[in-house]
Amino acid sequence: MTTTATTRPPTTPREGARIEVRDLTKRFGHFTAVDNLSFTVEPGRITGFLGPNGAGKTTTLRMLLGLISPSSGSATIGGRVYRDIPSPMSTVGSALEATNFHPGRSGRDHLRVLADTMGVGNARVDEMLELVGIPAAARKRAGGYSMGMRQRLGLAAAMLGDPQVLILDEPANGLDPEGIRWLRGFLRHLSGQGKTVLISSHMLQEVEQTVDDVVIISNGRLVKQGTMADLHGKGGAIVRTTDAEALAGALRVADLISSPHDDGLHVETSDLRLVGDVALRAGLPIYELRVATTDLEDVFFQLTEGTNRNLGGGTPAERDAVAGQEGANA
């Protein structure tokens, strides 16, 4: 395939655009898949969009990308709904599924077809294949790609237009540890350029190492939005010794507040040296002393455990709307 287009995206990074979801609702019959949902995603940051299966994540992303219409509310990118964005593929890059290509077409030809629609030259196609690390497989039929290679091809397609905003659904699926590490660095690079990055994922430990902010939903409703630092809480110290009560008394004398934590104490200071010095003066051995943080997995399950809807109820159409919509067309 040849193309006469020579236009290439600018080499100077373009800053991202704010994503705003306001009172967004989507109903399928009697079932409400997304319920009065509001959140923002800021440029220059990586935001993780989290929730149990069937929580409404993919439905929300599809409304954001204009693939389905909301029942009420709005989802905008840079203040515009997707259908009103001029040259949308040069503004928003997205990868919601790793199977949206012709299996008989090579990876390079898949990108060339997309590039033609954007007026992007073939040089950009080859640049993106190099960027995502699959130049050697570019001439092979995409139907023979592994899941990880399909994810990389989808990311290359999303980046063709040098978009301001990148929206990815489960981008780490199928990637090996090296690929996951590469993806983390790549997303960090994009956010460092000022781009807006929104990723949906169920890999909580990986999300914790990658994102700056999180949006957690359950039953189509927002249950938490904040920075990773906010989720980790105020910190403090966890300390274990032979006599927790004696150490608690010694800490009180040093004007440090503590409370029982498992078989040790939680101390309201992040100064580990100070806690250690108090224990030493009290003649108490320490078996554990570490900074106290709340990890993302703990927060996630505290907020969502026992709250997610039962996908077995409702009419067949409603079940399809929830389970099927989370990864299939509405």
Q: What is the pLDDT of residues 194-219, one digit of tens each?
A: 999 999 988 888 888 899 999 999 99
For residue range 246-273, list pLDDT tens digits in order: 999 999 999 999 999 888 999 999 899 9
Instruction: Name the least confident of 43-57, 78-92, 192-206, 220-234.
Output: 220-234
264-267 and 72-77 beta bridge pairing: unpaired
What is the pTM for the complete model shown? Answer: 0.77
Percent of the chain's residues with pLDDT above 90: 53
Inform me whether the pLDDT recorded for 233 exceeds 80. Answer: no
- Provide mean pLDDT across the span 310-321: 44
Per-position b or e across 261-283, b if 16+ CB within 10 A of its CB: beebbebebeebeebeebbeebe
Q: Which domains does the chain have, with CATH numbers?
A: 19-231+300-324 (3.40.50.300), 237-291 (no CATH)
Total Cβ atoms within 10 A of residue 327: 14
At 260 the pLDDT is: 93
Q: What is the mean pLDDT of the chain?
A: 85
Give the number of C-alpha atoms closer than 13 A to the C-alpha of residue 90, restricted to the C-beta side: 15
| Spatial distance between the Cα atoms of 32 and 25, rounded to a whole number of angstroms | 7
- 236 pairs with which residues across the strands? none
Backbone phi and psi for residue 242, each to the nearest 5 degrees, phi listed first: -75, -25
